């Protein structure tokens, strides 16, 4: 896909734009936020000789320091966070105009008027030779394409912050043929059953909610898929959606799902539930099944209990939670 990024002297940042960008960042970074990452979106004035004073959105992703010290409360290197940060910048580049540093004011040029980088990493060395003279901090700049392609030479240095600037001007996408998007399970079910745009099911929810849930599950659960788990998003007759997480059995045809320990998935499942509970009305109960039968041998926990890290004391075959509607 080719993109043309507009110059940003055509409009100014509004409170509504800042709020939308904050929500976008929090939605895509909730897994890291649960682990201590702080997200701030601020209005940033820009003055240059070739343009009138205008504003950008300055976005900072930061791990906090211990009060009065340079010690990080949460110590993460690039390998610890890239599975979340790379998809985040992939989505960010599609939705927003992230400007290059050479469009900032003279004081913000990062020592290079021709700097086409867009993302700045604030780093801390893991070992400081003389802590009395230096905190071991330094910065490196990259393009969004560098981040998405994982072309960063950050080594094992600790991440202090990630900073970038966003213009409120839209990203203009040139007409270039794109691969056909794979249909969601919900869309395939509707095609099979013959639903069309006049059906109450489509009128009630629409494909956009199905796609939203697909995107969120992919964001939070994709590492589990790499480990052999699968998730399904199934539409119900009343317009609700069931999200089911299981681990298929490949050797025993009589039992299509493996028993697994919930602790194997909770680090990914809990942040997903927290994000879903912020944006959607969920059924009060999450179901944990210990056999293939859906009506027996199950226990339920409330959404609040799961968010508070309460977990079943038995092996499970499947987990099911229900999304009722948007808030």
Per-residue pLDDT tens over the stretch 243-257:
999 988 766 655 677
Classify residue 66 by its DSSP letter. Answer: P
User: Domain check: are 132 and 265 in the same one?
Assistant: no
**Under a CB-based contact definition with an 8 Å cutoff, are residues 251 and 11 in contact?**
no
User: Domain check: are 22 and 144 in the same one?
Assistant: yes
Model confidence band, residue 290 (pLDDT cutoffs 50, 70, 90): confident
Say what the pLDDT of residue 299 is: 84
Say what the pLDDT of residue 248 is: 85
- Each residue's pLDDT tens digit, 200-239: 333 344 457 888 888 888 888 888 888 899 999 988 877 8
User: Domain check: are 14 and 119 in the same one?
Assistant: yes
Rounded mean pLDDT, 145-155: 87
Model confidence band, residue 296 (pLDDT cutoffs 50, 70, 90): low
Average pLDDT, the chain: 76
Cα(323)–Cα(241) distance, rounded to whole angstroms?
5
User: Domain check: are 158 and 259 in the same one?
Assistant: no
Q: What percent of the chain has pLDDT over 90?
A: 14
Residue 130 within a domain: yes
Q: Flag whether pLDDT at 171 surpasses 60.
A: no
User: Domain check: are 192 and 164 in the same one?
Assistant: no
**Under a CB-based contact definition with an 8 Å cutoff, are residues 101 and 115 in contact?**
yes
Q: Flag whether pLDDT at 198 surpasses 70.
A: no
> Partners of 281 in the beta sheet?
325
Say what the pLDDT of residue 163 is: 92
User: Domain check: are 144 and 226 in the same one?
Assistant: no
Say what the pLDDT of residue 323 is: 93
Q: Flag whether pLDDT at 264 surpasses 60.
A: yes
Q: Flag whether pLDDT at 127 surpasses 70.
A: no
Q: Which of 45-59, 131-145, 163-177 has the highest mean pLDDT?
A: 131-145
Say what the pLDDT of residue 242 is: 92
**Under a CB-based contact definition with an 8 Å cutoff, are residues 139 and 123 in contact?**
yes
User: Domain check: are 169 and 196 in the same one?
Assistant: no
- Strand ranges for the chain from DSSP E: 3-5, 38-48, 51-62, 97-98, 119-124, 137-142, 158-167, 171-173, 230-235, 241-246, 280-282, 285-289, 298-302, 318-326
User: Domain check: are 284 and 260 in the same one?
Assistant: yes
Which of 125, 140, 173 is the last residue in one of the domains?
173
pTM: 0.56
Domain that holds residue 275: 185-326
**Under a CB-based contact definition with an 8 Å cutoff, are residues 23 and 57 in contact?**
no
Q: How many domains does one find in the chain?
A: 2
> Partners of 325 in the beta sheet?
281
- Each residue's pLDDT tens digit, 43-100: 877 655 544 456 778 899 999 887 766 678 888 999 888 888 988 998 888 888 888 8
């Amino acid at each position: 896909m080719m993109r043309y990024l507009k110059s940003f002297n055509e409009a100014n940042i509004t409170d509504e734009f800042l709020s939308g960008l904050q929500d976008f960042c929090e939605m895509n970074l909730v897994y890291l936020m649960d682990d201590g990452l702080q997200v701030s979106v601020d209005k940033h004035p820009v003055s240059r000789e070739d343009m009138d004073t205008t504003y950008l959105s300055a976005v900072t992703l930061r791990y906090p320091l211990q009060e009065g010290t340079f010690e990080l409360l949460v110590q993460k290197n690039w390998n610890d966070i890239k599975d979340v940060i790379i998809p985040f910048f992939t989505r960010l580049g599609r939705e927003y105009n992230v400007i290059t540093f050479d469009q900032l004011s003279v004081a913000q040029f990062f020592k290079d008027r021709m700097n086409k980088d867009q993302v700045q990493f604030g780093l801390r060395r893991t070992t400081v030779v003389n802590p009395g003279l230096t905190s071991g901090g330094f910065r490196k700049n990259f393009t969004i394409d560098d981040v998405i392609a994982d072309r960063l030479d950050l080594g094992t240095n600790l991440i202090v912050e990630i900073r970038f600037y966003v213009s409120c001007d839209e990203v203009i996408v040139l007409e270039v043929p794109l691969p056909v998007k794979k249909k969601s399970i919900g869309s395939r079910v509707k095609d099979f059953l013959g639903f069309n745009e006049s059906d109450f099911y489509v009128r009630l929810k629409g494909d956009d909610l199905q796609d939203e849930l697909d995107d969120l599950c992919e964001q939070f659960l994709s590492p589990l898929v790499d480990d052999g788990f699968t998730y399904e998003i199934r539409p119900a007759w009343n317009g609700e959606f069931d999200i089911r997480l299981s681990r298929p059995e490949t050797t025993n045809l009589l039992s299509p799902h493996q028993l697994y320990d919930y602790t194997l998935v909770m680090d990914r499942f809990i942040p997903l539930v927290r994000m879903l509970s912020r944006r959607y009305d969920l059924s009060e109960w999450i179901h944990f099944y210990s056999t293939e039968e859906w009506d027996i041998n199950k226990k339920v926990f409330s959404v609040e209990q799961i968010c508070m890290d309460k977990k079943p004391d038995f092996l499970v075959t499947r987990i099911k939670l229900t999304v009722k509607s948007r808030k």
